[in-house]
Structure 1
């Protein structure tokens, strides 16, 4: 576990609760809070942790508008608390508010060594605001300084400026709880010795201080060295050595108690963190188990899908094989049938060719015969012409004889022509 002091060294101010035991300090010095002015309260949580009675009058002041809005919300349940926006200084004029990335570190003074201690905090904006002294602000608010006996200051280096503008209020205060500085963290900011010297003139003495976060700054509790009685202000009697030793011992015990409480708080915070981490780990383990279960389920589904895919591929191959076989058988059958038909066609063609050849031979025979008969007819026609010619040249014979011979020759010729014609038609 890291050293708690190392963690405290670079923690910015105004974000932590007061380390001095405010109630015990008030009790030790017989101070009863009846009115408190808190300047630079940021969110007011530190003030609320004091558990002050509702009868205590409280004036809360902050220069940052967003802080004022938070304060108004946080103190809405306390009717005796007034929240005011104002930039407190030692004059009634204007000031520049240096807003930072950590709003509680904003100041009306520019940074000096503060940026070296807290380099992660950056200035993000500058606002020009009207400034007021505490005495002027109380007058404007129609508030009496005598209504307040405790002043709390947490305004990043400008605490002495606020005190210088509260000369009337200082005469009515019993205690001042303020931040003090041992190095110049802000330009123009007063150191603790300067604050001591100023408050000495108003009969205040530093009775307790603490530097819990960084050696350059801390907290101090000032008490007026006179007490109020019916007869007026009386000086406080100095403590005897025994009482002084008892007070110092008491302070040491309180410091040890605070350290113990801080350690206990750190331990509780660590336990809470460990518990939160354990819960986060359990949740992560639950998520891991769920993811593993989903992964196993996905793997099972993937295996099932892969099995189905393999089965589908096997079925597809079988179907392809069957289809190929069927197609092959069909093709073979069709091929055989085509071969058979082709063979039959071929046989028919061969038969037809044979018949054609026979027809061709017969046709050639008929043609030869036709030519022969044609020659015979031509010969007969020639003979007929010769016969006609001879008949014309021969002297006329008796009519009966000539006629009978002519008719006999003509009949023979007609029979021959009829015979040739009949054979030709048959062919």
Structure 2
């Protein structure tokens, strides 16, 4: 009951928000979480010209980004065919967006991927016992093959305008994406990624490892800007915003 009341209040807040409204909340890809994260992001980084949206699902983040950064160019990557079809449908009327049925990672070619019945849990890594216990709907998945490419090898049609935001929501596969983007990271001004304190996926790097890796790559932690408590009210994951140290 309390959770439903929270969702109702959040929905009403978005409806009256100058960047929200009925038109946004009625979209199939509308997301309370994505709207909240993007709202927080806009307060810290008021100007973003390019968004690399990795793990786009059905377009929730891209749809929210368009509300706060109407002139940005968005590149959305989603490997699961069913989700990609919905991504195409949900973003077809958004200006300046390109979508790709592709995973990003450490290698080029086909990789094994676990398509979850709960699409938000689909990943190149298997769901952990902890997540299956706390979110039983994640127990069901099937293994598929998807195309994968290193971000360093991806060919954009034209030079990217800065500031650039790289957003990763790839369910424990974030470090592999970053390791395939060591050159591209030099262009990135802001990095938004979901990181875990409790393993939600087998062999997932946790926050301490990810934070050390990003510091080594020249990024500083700005703030956590999103959280999703589990059924026990613990917070196993946070959406963390990083900024490149020499970025203006």
The bucket for the TM-score relative to the shorter chain is 0.7 to 0.9
Report if the CA contact (8 A) 2:50-2:160 is conserved. no
State the match for 1:105 in structure 2. Answer: 121
Q: Report the alpha carbon displacement of residue 200 of structure 1 after superposing the two structures with TM.
A: 0.8
Which has a greater percent of strand? 2
Question: Given the alignment, which residue of 117, 127, 137 partners 1:120?
Answer: 137
Once structures 1 and 2 are overlaid, which stretch shifts more, 191-200 or 89-98? 89-98
Q: Secondary structure at the residue paired with 2:126?
A: coil
Question: 2:184 matched to which residue of 1?
Answer: 169
Q: CA separation in 2, counterparts of 1:67 and 1:147?
A: 29
The answer to whether residue 244 in structure 2 is matched with residue 227 in structure 1 is no
Structure 1 residues 48 and 180: CA distance shift in structure 2, 3 A: same
Q: What whole-Å deviation, never above 9, does each CA across 1:380-399 have from its counterpart, x for those lacking one?
A: xxxxxxxxxxxxxxxxxxxx
Per the TM alignment, residue 22 of structure 1 is displaced from its structure 2 partner at its CA by 3.2
Q: Would the alpha carbon gap of residues 19 and 116 (structure 1) be closer, same or farther in structure 2, given more than 3 Å must change?
A: farther
Are the counterparts in 2 of residues 57 and 148 from structure 1 also a CA contact under 8 Å?
Answer: no
Higher helix proportion (structure 1 or 2): 1
Q: 1:147 to 1:136 in 2, by over 3 A?
A: farther
Given that 2:34 and 2:60 are in contact with CA atoms closer than 8 Å, whether structure 1 keeps it comes out as: no
SS in 1 for 2:183: helix
Deviates more, 1:152-161 or 1:85-94: 85-94
Specify every segment of 5 or more residues in structure 1 that has no aligned partner in the other structure, as ranges.
Answer: 8-14, 229-427
Distance 1:161 1:42 in 2: 18
C-alpha distance in structure 1 between counterparts of 2:162 and 2:113, whole Å: 29
- Classify the secondary structure of the residue corresponding to 1:176: strand
Q: Distance in 2 between matches of 1:202 and 1:109?
A: 24
1:57 to 1:110, Cα distance in 2 relative to 1, 3 A: same
Aligned counterpart, 2:74: 58
Instruction: Compute the TM-score of the two structures, normalised by the length of structure 1.
Output: 0.47
* Partner in structure 2 of residue 234 of structure 1: none
Aligned to 1:217: 237
Q: Distance in 1 between matches of 2:222 and 2:196?
A: 16
Give the Å deviation of 1:23: 4.1
CA distance in 1, matches of 2:220, 2:207: 12
Q: CA shift at 1:147, angstroms? A: 5.6
Measure, in 2, the Cα distance between the counterparts of 1:102 and 1:16.
17
Q: Deviations over 1:299-357 (max 9, x none)?
A: xxxxxxxxxxxxxxxxxxxxxxxxxxxxxxxxxxxxxxxxxxxxxxxxxxxxxxxxxxx
The aligned residue for residue 240 of structure 1 is none
CA distance in 1 between counterparts of 2:163 and 2:184 reads 8
**Could you tell me which residue of structure 2 aligns to residue 92 of structure 1?**
108
Within 2, Cα distance between the matches of 1:16 and 1:159? 23
Return 5+ residue gaps in structure 2 as ranges: 8-30
User: What is residue 198 of structure 1 aligned with on the other side?
Assistant: 213
Alignment of 1:221-300 (within 5 A): 221-228=241-248
Using the alignment, how far apart are the partners of 1:53 and 1:133 within structure 2? 26
Q: Is the 8 A contact 1:54 1:80 kept in 2?
A: no
Determine helix, strand or coil for the equivalent of 1:69.
helix
Once the two structures are TM-superposed, the CA of residue 74 in structure 1 deviates from its matched residue by 1.4
Does the CA contact (< 8 Å) of 2:127 and 2:139 recur in 1? no
Q: 1:27 to 1:17 in 2, by over 3 A?
A: closer
Q: What residue number does 1:42 align with?
A: 57
8 Å Cα contact 2:131/2:138 also seen in 1? no
Partner of 2:203: helix, strand, or coil? coil
The RMSD of aligned alpha carbons is 2.6
- The count of corresponding residues between Structure 1 and Structure 2 is 218
Matched residue SS, 1:109? coil
* Partner Cα separation in structure 2 for residue 148 and residue 129 of structure 1: 30
- Is residue 136 of structure 1 aligned with residue 153 of structure 2? yes
Q: 1:187 to 1:21 in 2, by over 3 A?
A: closer
